[in-house]
Amino acid sequence: MFVRITTDSALRPNSLRDLGMTSDSKALVSLSEFSYRKGTEIYGEKEPAEYVYQVKAGAVRSYKLLSDGRRQIGAFHLSGDIFGLENGNEHRFTTEAVVDTTVRLIKRQSLETVAESDATVAKNLLSMTTTNLQHAEDHMLLLGRKTSLERVAAFLLEMDKRLTAAGVMALPMSRRDIADYLGLTLETVSRALSRLHELGVLGFIGNTQRQIVLLDRSQLASLDLQS
């Protein structure tokens, strides 16, 4: 299921800063690293939420399987993102590695213990929870949009902010993943991307068409009703 990279966490003390947090107390916690191959489950829905995770390299998808067998992806977690931080004691989603992925793990209990005596860490944990809630609300609004083109445009704008480097957006996820995130069919996503290409909004690099260059961000933004 996974390959452990760090075998002795006692030899690897790390500041909470490694999780994207800053603590004036410089409290030390032990982080472990695990490597997951493409398509491998990291944790399942309703499993105990014992750890908080950070993507070191790769990408992760969080999803639920609906009663009719369809998959609804709730979020994509990219390099540097923190996930698995739950309000309750169980995970609400299943997570899988989109590509070969390395994640950092920290025991939730140790993180909460530090937060009890460190106001900065407590504040950052609350901020992360609020950010996750905001993303869930934005995603709900996205799924309520009328046209597939608007949904795909909103997705590309989100990924543009999170992924674009040297002018190129390298998508780790497949079009099937995008479809399950946007509540669309694979064919509809492909048609929408082709339409945006025809309009001169984007260009493709490579045979897989996962590397995208946005040629007209203003036109793309005009398709996003929330812009």
- What is the residue-level pLDDT of the chain in tens, covering all 227 positions? 444 444 333 333 344 565 565 555 455 566 789 999 999 999 999 999 999 999 999 999 999 999 888 999 999 999 988 899 888 899 999 999 999 999 999 888 888 888 888 788 788 888 888 888 888 888 888 888 778 999 999 999 999 998 877 789 999 999 999 999 999 999 999 999 999 999 999 999 987 788 999 999 999 999 865 44
Dihedral (Cα; 150, 154, 157, 159), 10-degree rounding: -130
Instruction: Out of 104, 126, 142, pick the residue that ends a domain.
Output: 142
Asked, for residue 187, whether it belongs to a domain, the answer is yes
Q: Are residues 74 and 93 in the same domain?
A: yes
Return d(Cα 160, Cα 158) in angstroms, integer: 5
Which residue intervals of 118-174 are DSSP H helices?
Answer: 119-143, 148-163
Domains identified in the chain, total number: 2
β-sheet bridge partners, residue 30: 13
Q: Are residues 29 and 119 in the same domain?
A: yes
Instruction: Out of 142, 157, 192, pick the residue that ends a domain.
Output: 142
Strands (E) in the chain, as ranges, are 3-4, 13-15, 28-30, 32-36, 41-43, 51-57, 59-65, 71-78, 82-83, 94-97, 101-107, 169-170, 202-205, 211-214
Q: Look at residue 7 in the predicted model and tell me its pLDDT.
A: 38
Domain containing 217: what range? Answer: 146-222
Asked, for residue 227, whether it belongs to a domain, the answer is no
Q: 19, 34 in Cβ contact below 8 A?
A: no
Structure tokens at 106: 């920290």
Q: Look at residue 2 in the predicted model and tell me its pLDDT.
A: 46
> Model confidence over 103-121: pLDDT tens digits?
999 888 888 888 888 788 7
Q: 212, 169 in Cβ contact below 8 A?
A: yes
Asked, for residue 51, whether it belongs to a domain, the answer is yes
Q: Are residues 72 and 112 in the same domain?
A: yes
pTM for the model stands at 0.83
> Model confidence over 54-111: pLDDT tens digits?
999 999 999 999 988 899 999 999 998 889 988 889 999 999 999 999 999 988 888 8
